[in-house]
Structure 1
Amino acid sequence: MYEKLFALASIATPFWLLMMLLPSWRVTRFLANSAIFPIYLAVLYAVGIVAAIGSMGFGFMQDFGSVEGVIRLMSNPDFALLVWLHILCFDQAVGHYVYRDNMEHRYVPLPVQSILLFLILMFGPFGFLCYLALRAIRKRAKVR
């Protein structure tokens, strides 16, 4: 089942391409305003986590408290795919936020936005941190 959820998650990939390559296109803006892809990935994750809790119970949560426990969880292929869905969902949500925030306020030029979205897709928190730093610099420069 988790492999099926993983395959279904790939449908959200074109939205990344639209945000990066065609950020001003009305279809891209419509999809961003509807938040359909972050919601879609969240639903897939919810299905997966409910299935995991149904089969494993809540006991797996105790493994989050130790390095050994997390490694044990990640060594389970089904759980690793579920974690990957979790990552995809949050990366999509953060990319979606950055896209909408920057399209509204234009803290960075669109080519830079595209690079930042790529960084978010590939390196999640690092790309988000880069966006927040550039946004803070631009905000500070506007105040002066």
Structure 2
Amino acid sequence: MSAVLFPLTFAVAAPFWILMILLPNWAVTQRVVRSPLIVTPAVVIYAILIVPAFGEVLPAVASPTLDGVRELLGSADGAAAGWAHMIAFDLFVGRWAWLDSRERTIPPLVMAPVLVLTILLGPLGLAAYLVVRTRWARPPTTSDLDPHPLG
């Protein structure tokens, strides 16, 4: 099953990355990416791989050791589950960065390489975005302007 689910994992996430990177100003992109449910397909694949092996997985992650994690990820099912885990979280982080960049009006041409880096090397893409976002302040909201928000 992992031979089918491994490539399917990226295939279910790729359309959302394409929207964010290549069509960032399209109204459909805005509507689709605003939903945190875009990570659901990758999460479902992860669950399909993890639930049957939960008895092995839980002890390995509850009290992790290098050898235990290496053994867990060393099988085809473990590698496919690890991949689904990474794809789901990278997409969630990429979605957050994309939404935040829209609020800050960071140009899509600045965001495109950051999002590609997030796809390929998730934590480094997050780090790049955290650096990039320091150059663009978030515009004030009405609650920021109201000195007495509770009345």
Task: With the length of structure 1 as denominator, give the TM-score of the two structures.
Answer: 0.83
Counterpart contact for 2:57–2:72, Cα < 8 Å:
no
Counterpart contact for 2:12–2:41, Cα < 8 Å:
no
* Mapping of residues 6-17 of structure 1, within 5 Å: 6-9=6-9, 10-17=11-18
1:79 aligns with 2:90: no
For residues 53-85 of structure 1, the C-alpha deviation after alignment (integer angstroms, 9 at most, x for no partner) is: 16x3634336x6322222222221211110011
2:35 aligned partner: 34
CA apart distance, 1:47: 2.6
2:58 aligned partner: 58
Deviating above 4 A after TM superposition, structure 1's stretches of 4 or more consecutive aligned residues are none
1:46 aligned partner: 47
CA distance in 2 between counterparts of 1:75 and 1:131 reads: 31
Q: Write the letter of the residue equivalent to 2:132.
A: L
SS of residue in 2 equivalent to 1:92? helix
Higher helix share: 1
Identical aligned residues as a percent: 35
CA distance in 1 between counterparts of 2:37 and 2:58 reads: 29
Return 5+ residue gaps in structure 2 as ranges: 139-151
Q: Write the letter of the residue equivalent to 1:119.
A: L
CA distance in 1 between counterparts of 2:12 and 2:133 reads: 30
**Alpha carbons of structure 1 residues 57 and 72: separation in structure 2 relative to 1, 3 Å:** closer
CA distance in 1 between counterparts of 2:57 and 2:117 reads: 35
Counterpart contact for 1:6–1:85, Cα < 8 Å:
yes
2:116 aligned partner: 118
Please identify the structure whose Cα radius of gyration is greater: 2
Return 5+ residue gaps in structure 1 as ranges: none
CA distance in 2 between counterparts of 1:57 and 1:138 reads: 42
CA apart distance, 1:49: 1.7
Q: Which residue, out of 107, 110, 114, partners 1:109? A: 107
For residues 90-112 of structure 1, the C-alpha deviation after alignment (integer angstroms, 9 at most, x for no partner) is: 00000111111111221x21101
Q: Write the letter of the residue equivalent to 1:49.
A: I
**Alpha carbons of structure 1 residues 88 and 57: separation in structure 2 relative to 1, 3 Å:** closer
CA distance in 2 between counterparts of 1:11 and 1:57 reads: 24
SS of residue in 2 equivalent to 1:65? coil
**Alpha carbons of structure 1 residues 61 and 128: separation in structure 2 relative to 1, 3 Å:** closer
